[in-house]
Amino acid sequence: MAPSILLVDDDHRTVQVLAHMLTGMGRLRLALSGADALRLAQEAPPDVVLVDAEMPAMNGFEFCACMKAEPMLAEVPIIFVTSHVDVATEVAGFAAGAADFIRKPPATEVVQARVRVQLRLKELSDALKDAALTDALTGIDNRRRFAESLEAECVRARRSKQTLSLLMIDVDHFKQYNDHYGHLEGDHCLRSVAKALQSALQRPADRVARYGGEEFAVLLPDTAVTGALHIGDRIIHAIDALQIPHHDSPLRGIVTVSAGAAAARWMEDSTHVALTSTALISAADQALYAAKDGGRARCSVFRQAG
């Protein structure tokens, strides 16, 4: 996919000039104010931003500070475009989180070269981060990435007043599986389960992670509790369909999973908890325990007591 480049300047002519210089280097988005640029970045994080340092209402320094304060935007490289060439301006920009400077009037070769460098650096940084946030056994998100994604989705859901749902999933009687078939077969089983979980999800925004051992987590943005229950049931059927033999399981002699679903929103009620990562994980865990207590191989939904 082509990189996303966000151009920000209160002078529409400057924006158009920069856009012309960068034609063919990526998907270009234009904004005439810091506030509009921040909104566009929140909707879809760019790969690099070029921003005018001197703008009314929200200048480049303030815009940069807002970007760095957002978990999903903090690592986006920001290039300041400015007519000031003094050291104090550059020092202030780097202190705010700027990655580079381009002086006005911009030269095409300089703009292209500096954008190309920042895109390459971000590509390398993303690759390293992806390796550090991927579970080595299953190839899906690991617990650290899940924690980052959950925090970011909580922020997004609070801002947009959307519902955020979470599924906690556990492979039933997995210790007995390892004891009977051995750890190599146990690893193969977990990889098969992870692949089936991914296949059961239908939206790019939905994410599955290995939470630890034989436990998985599925993050479902903008999903009501009924939708989470539906996906939980679909996951249970998907694992059943694998027909992985489990001689020591009392549940039909195959590998099965149990699931707990919980939903969070900005205003709590009988079916929704507070929009915090701690509250959502705790509620989904409680629902998972209820599914186990109810006989396993099923999905239970968290509801507030009373």
Residues serving a catalytic function are 214
Relative to beta strand 257-264, strand 164-171 is antiparallel
- Rounded Cα distance between 299 and 230, Å, is 9
Residue 42 neighbours by CB under 8 Å, 6+ apart: 70, 72, 73, 156, 159
Other beta carbons within 10 angstroms of residue 164's beta carbon come to: 26
Structure tokens at 93: 């920009």
The answer to whether 263 and 223 have CB atoms below 8 angstroms apart is: yes
CB 257 within 8 A of CB 172: yes
